[in-house]
């Protein structure tokens, strides 16, 4: 008998009929002889509706109360799901994050899981019950206040619970068939990836692939927990995220490139005319770090000998742009730079593949493909298993398609897929 943790996102439980369908799938898993723990997000638009209500009463609601409010969403979906399962003749018990033992720090809105003590979940399983757990939420260790985990929170709940329960697999249900070699909305010939390593998946997630959040993959890797990303609308095998995709030899040959990810949510800031002195760059990035801004890529031009000045460009989440600009303005006199440029019409296109390690020439092929497609490269960054470029936002589609084709990722036959958001 296996222990299976399943996670269903908001789109999988959007209304009563969706919930009944999910209940049938859960019961089928139970009937197949498994112990089942289910992590569920809030129904469809519930979270947005609650946020809208909050905005109506307060422009800047306190984090503690916002978390209290938002956690009502999972409370509703998990209770309804437990009822739907009971209606199919199986015993189900719903548990809040707190009841399920999801212990976090006190950072409301983006709490981190400190510990998972799923005693009540184990009891429920021992009684033959199906346990339904609220995703996205926990309780703070010190103040016993309700917290939320922020983006990707329900996936993280599922993986953390699965790890604590030593589950055999964590199934992440979504509205697509798995992880694709590229966004099928851009590349209709994109293929489902059968297996991918944690490292590659983390790079994919960090580079804009929205199906799994970076955090949850990191957590799974730490505990070597297999994740199975699959569709709640079909019974097809999805994508397995595991430590070593080659180990079982099911694949004839691992491709050099696993997938092409893209991200339109970043912006670029250029600090123009920075005096080329020791410590100036450090001051700039210390300033940004103090403003809690996460920097992605950084490029520093070669200093112009005539002026003794250089330009420093970096990318960041576009939504952090205003905060970053205002923080940098405050240190202009101290640093002595000339001006700031802000560009949110950029996009990042990334090639990800563990095969890069052993295959030279990937960069050359990638850049040649972009050149052939007439795409201009603005910035470049690389890791051992990834190459990312910044291009104009309106060139993202062309760049993704060109790269996908250049590395022979296009499928012979186009699969019909639905591609949408994944809730939280």
Where do the H-state alpha helices sit in 173-223?
A: 198-206, 214-222
Sole binder of a second copy in the list 20, 122, 151, 405 (CB under 8 A): 20
Gap between the Cα atoms of 385 and 390, Å rounded = 17
Where do the H-state alpha helices sit in 305-418?
A: 321-330, 332-335, 362-372, 396-406
Q: x/- contact string, 142-181, with a second copy (CB under 8 A)?
A: --x-------------------------------------
Taking the CB of residue 379, how many other CB atoms lie within 10 A of it?
18
**23 contributes a contact to a second copy by CB under 8 A:** yes
Only segment of 78-86, 194-202, 220-228, 270-278 that touches a second copy (CB under 8 A): 78-86
CB-wise, 99 or 365, nearer to a second copy?
Answer: 99
CB-wise, 73 or 423, nearer to a second copy?
Answer: 73
Residue 176: which of 236, 124, 98 has the closest Cα? 236
**75 contributes a contact to a second copy by CB under 8 A:** yes
Gap between the Cα atoms of 67 and 106, Å rounded = 11
* Smallest distance, a second copy to C-beta of residue 79, A: 4
Only segment of 46-54, 206-214, 242-250, 313-321 that touches a second copy (CB under 8 A): 46-54
410 appears as a binding residue in the annotation: no
Gap between the Cα atoms of 237 and 220, Å rounded = 19
* Residue 43 CB partners (closer than 8 Å, separation 6+): 10, 13, 14, 15, 19, 73, 76, 77, 80
* Smallest distance, a second copy to C-beta of residue 158, A: 19
* Smallest distance, a second copy to C-beta of residue 100, A: 12
423 appears as a binding residue in the annotation: no
Gap between the Cα atoms of 162 and 174, Å rounded = 18
* Residue 372 CB partners (closer than 8 Å, separation 6+): 402
* Chain residues 105-134 in contact with a second copy, contact rule CB under 8 A: 120
**53 contributes a contact to a second copy by CB under 8 A:** yes
DSSP designation for 183: -
9 appears as a binding residue in the annotation: yes
Q: How many residues contact a second copy, by CB under 8 A?
A: 39
CB-wise, 71 or 197, nearer to a second copy?
Answer: 71
Reported in sequence order, the residue ranges of 264-308 that DSSP labels E, i.e. its strands, are: 266-275, 298-300
Taking the CB of residue 249, how many other CB atoms lie within 10 A of it?
6
**87 contributes a contact to a second copy by CB under 8 A:** yes
263 appears as a binding residue in the annotation: no
Sole binder of a second copy in the list 1, 33, 56, 333 (CB under 8 A): 56
What's the token pair of residue 61?
């609601």
47 appears as a binding residue in the annotation: yes
Question: Which residues make up the interface to a second copy (CB under 8 A)?
Answer: 16, 19-20, 23, 50, 53-54, 56-62, 64-66, 68-69, 71-73, 75-76, 78-84, 86-87, 92-94, 99, 120, 144
List, as residue ranges, the binding site. 7-10, 47, 74, 174-175, 185
């Amino acid at each position: 008998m296996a222990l299976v943790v399943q996670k269903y996102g908001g789109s999988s439980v959007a209304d009563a009929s969706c919930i009944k369908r999910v209940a049938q799938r859960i019961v089928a898993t139970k009937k197949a002889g498994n112990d089942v723990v289910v992590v569920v997000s809030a129904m469809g638009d519930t979270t947005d509706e609650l946020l809208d209500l909050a905005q109506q009463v307060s422009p800047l609601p306190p984090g503690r109360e916002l978390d209290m409010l938002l956690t009502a969403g999972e409370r509703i979906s998990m209770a309804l799901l437990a009822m739907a399962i009971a209606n199919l003749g199986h015993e189900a018990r719903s548990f809040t994050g707190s009841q399920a033992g999801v212990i976090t720090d006190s950072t409301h809105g983006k709490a981190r899981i400190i510990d998972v003590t799923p005693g009540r979940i184990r009891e429920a399983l021992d009684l033959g019950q199906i346990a339904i757990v609220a995703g996205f939420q926990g309780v703070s260790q010190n103040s016993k206040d309700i917290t939320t985990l922020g983006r990707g929170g329900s996936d993280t709940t599922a993986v953390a619970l699965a790890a604590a329960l030593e589950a055999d697999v964590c199934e992440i249900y979504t509205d697509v068939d798995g992880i694709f070699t590229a966004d099928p909305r851009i590349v209709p010939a994109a293929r489902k990836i059968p297996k991918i390593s944690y490292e590659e998946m983390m790079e994919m997630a960090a580079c804009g692939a929205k199906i799994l959040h970076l955090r949850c993959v990191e957590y799974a890797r730490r505990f070597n927990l297999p994740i199975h990303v699959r569709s709640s609308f079909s019974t097809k095998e999805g994508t397995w995220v595991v430590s070593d995709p080659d180990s079982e030899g099911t694949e004839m040959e691992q491709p050099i490139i696993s997938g092409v990810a893209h991200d339109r949510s970043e912006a670029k800031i250029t600090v123009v005319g920075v005096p080329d002195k020791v410590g100036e760059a450090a001051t700039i990035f210390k300033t940004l770090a103090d403003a809690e801004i996460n920097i992605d890529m950084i490029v520093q031009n070669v200093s112009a000998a005539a002026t003794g000045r250089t330009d420093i460009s970096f990318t960041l989440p576009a939504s952090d742009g205003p905060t970053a600009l205002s923080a940098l303005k405050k240190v202009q006199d101290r640093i002595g730079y000339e001006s700031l440029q802000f560009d949110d019409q950029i996009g990042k296109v990334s090639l990800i593949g563990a095969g890069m390690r052993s295959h030279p020439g990937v960069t050359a092929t990638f850049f040649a493909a972009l050149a052939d497609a007439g795409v201009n490269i603005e910035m470049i960054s690389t890791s051992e298993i990834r190459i990312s470029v910044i291009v104009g936002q309106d060139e993202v589609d062309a760049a993704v398609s060109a790269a996908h084709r250049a590395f022979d990722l296009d499928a012979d036959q186009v699969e019909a897929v639905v591609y949408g958001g994944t809730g939280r």
